[in-house]
Amino acid sequence: MFPRIFHKFRVLALLSMAALCMPAFGANSARPGTVNYIEGSANLAGAPLTSQSVGSAELNPGEVLSTGEGKAEILMTPGVYLRLDDHSSVKMISPDLTFTQLALERGRAAVEVDEIHPQNNIQIAMSGIPTQMLKTGFYEFNAGNDVARVFKGKAAARLPDGKWVVIKGGRELALTAGDNTKPRKFNDRDAEDEFYNWSSLRSQYLSESSARLAQNYAYGMAPGWYWDPYFFGYTFMGPYSFYSPFGWGFYPFGYRGPIIYGRRGFYGHGFHGHPGVGNRFHGSIGVGHGRAFHGGHFQGGHFEGGHFQGGHIEGGHFHAGGR
C-alpha cells in the first residue's frame, strides 16, 4: 500500500513541477498579426511600439503597421513570418489561419515561409492585386514599383482580369505592367541587399531559438509558435526537422543530443544537408552529451555507421571515446 501511495504522490509532484515550468517557455496564444520583433521606430494603428510590445501587440483587421527608420517582424500562420523594411507600411485585411491577407501600402515587405499546408491561403496584396504564396520559400514585395519577387518557392498573382499568373523561384512579376504580365528572371545575387541580409539574420536567430527550446519539450507536443523568454519572441517548432529558405535549421519537439545548427548543416538525430568539405557520412549519430557546435565544420574525415574515423573538427568541440 505504501509504495503505491508514494508512487502516486511522486507522479503528482512531477506533474505539478511540469505545470510550473511550462509558462517559462510556454506555448502562448500567438495569432496572425502578432508583433514578434521591432528595430528602430515602428507604429501600430498610430501608436508607437516598444520592446514591451513584442509578443502582445497584434495587427487587427483594418489596422496598419508602419516603420520609420526601423524594421519590424510579425507572425502570420505558424511557420510564416512577414518583415517590413524601413519606411514601409502594411495593412491587415484578414488574420484567419485559412485566409491570411495583408496589403502592402508603402515600401517593402518580405515573407519567409518555413511551413505551409494546402489549407493555407497566404496573400500579400499591392495596388489591389493579391499574390498567393504556394510553397515554402522567401518572397519580397515592393510597393514602389508593384513588383512581386520570388527568391525561392512558388507564388501566383491574380490580375485584374481574373487570370492567375504563376511566379517561380528566381523570377519577378510587375503587377501593374498592363499586358506585359510574363514573369522575368532577376539576378538574385544583386537582389541580396541589406534588407535581405537582415531577414537572413532574423532567420538565424529563430533557428537558434528553436534548437534551444526543442530540448525543453517532450515528444507529442503540437507544432506551432512557442515563446522563448531568452529570445524575447516566438519561434516555430514542428513535428520534424527542416530548413528555412536561408539554410538555417529548425527543430522538432523532443530533440535530444547535441545542438548543431547552421546553414545547410546538421539537424535532428543524424546528419543531413551538405556534408561540408570532402567528408562522407553513413548512418547517424546517436544521443550526445549536450555539447553544441556553433559555426564549426568537419574537414578531412568521414563517418561510417556512426563512427568517427580520422580527420578533425575546426571551430567546435569534439569529445573522443565514443561513437
Quote the pLDDT of residue 63.
98
Q: How confident is the model at residue 26, as a pLDDT?
A: 46
pLDDT at 161 exceeding the cut of 50 = yes
Cα 247–chain centre separation = 11
**Average pLDDT for 96-124:** 96
Per-residue model confidence (pLDDT) at position 269: 32
- pLDDT above 70 coverage of the chain, percent: 67
- Beta carbons of 97 and 76 less than 8 angstroms apart: no
Q: What is the CA radius of gyration of the chain?
A: 22
Residue 4: predicted pLDDT: 43
Domain segments of the chain: what residues? 35-187, 196-314
Which own/partner pairs from 312-317 qualify as long-range (CB within 8 Å, at least 24 positions apart)?
317/291, 317/293
pLDDT at residue 106 tops 90: yes
Q: How is 90-145 classified by DSSP, letter by letter?
A: EEEEEE-SSSEEEEEEESEEEEEES---TT--EEEEETTEEEEE-SSEEEEEETTT
Here the cell at position 211 is: 534548437
For the chain, where are the alpha helices, taking DSSP H only? 2-25, 188-191, 194-214
pLDDT of amino acid 225: 86
Name the residue with cell 494546402: 118
What is the 8-class DSSP label of residue 63?
-
CA 155/CA 139 separation, integer angstroms: 9
What is the tens place of the pLDDT at every residue in 177-236?
766 679 999 998 889 999 999 999 999 999 888 888 877 765 556 778 888 888 889 988
- pLDDT at residue 221, rounded to an integer: 65
**What pLDDT sits at residue 268?**
33
Distances (CA, A) of 145 to 105, 182, 266, 280: 11, 16, 39, 47
Residue 127 has phi, psi (to 5 degrees) of: 55, 35
Predicted confidence at residue 263, as pLDDT, reads 56
- Cβ contacts of 59 within 8 Å, gap of 6 or more: 33, 34, 35, 44, 65, 74, 90, 92, 95, 102
pLDDT at residue 100 is higher than 60? yes
> Would you say domain 35-187 falls under CATH 2.60.120.1440?
yes
Pick 141 or 209 by higher pLDDT: 141
Region 84-95 average pLDDT:
98
Contact 165, 183 (CB under 8 A): yes
Residue 302 in this model has a pLDDT that exceeds 70: no
For the chain, the first-to-last Cα distance in angstroms comes to 44
Q: Nearest-5° angle of CA 139, CA 47, CA 32?
A: 40
Residue 219's pLDDT is 57
